[in-house]
């Protein structure tokens, strides 16, 4: 992971384009479920690896047991 690529890696918690403050949530992409953030522009950051099921991502986020 590059510096500034995720919130925990130093990315701002407010999108510089749409000015929305981002919060951690479970997100979905074509690659699977992940812990990340979104803003009005769309996906903002991915804080975790991918999970095959939403419940796995929710459990990881709730327990703080996720990493990239």
Domain ranges of the chain: 1-62
User: For the range 63-68, what are the long-range contacts, defined as Cβ-Cβ under 8 Å and sequence gap of 24 or more?
Assistant: 66/35, 68/1, 68/6
Higher pLDDT, 24 or 67: 24
Tally of CB atoms within 10 A around 4: 11
Q: Check: CB of residue 36 under 8 Å from CB of residue 30.
A: no
- Averaged over 10-24, what is the pLDDT? 95
Q: Cα separations (Å) of 43 from 23, 26, 54, 63? A: 11, 11, 17, 22
Q: How far apart are CA 52 and CA 45, in angstroms?
A: 18
What tens digit of pLDDT does each residue of 19-59 get?
999 999 999 999 999 999 999 999 999 999 999 999 999 99
């Amino acid at each position: 992971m590059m510096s500034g690529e995720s919130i925990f890696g130093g990315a701002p918690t407010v999108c510089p384009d749409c000015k929305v403050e981002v919060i951690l949530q479970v997100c979905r992409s074509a690659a699977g479920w992940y812990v990340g953030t979104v803003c009005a522009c769309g996906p903002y950051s991915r804080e975790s690896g991918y999970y095959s099921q939403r419940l796995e991502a929710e459990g990881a986020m709730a327990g703080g047991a996720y990493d990239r």
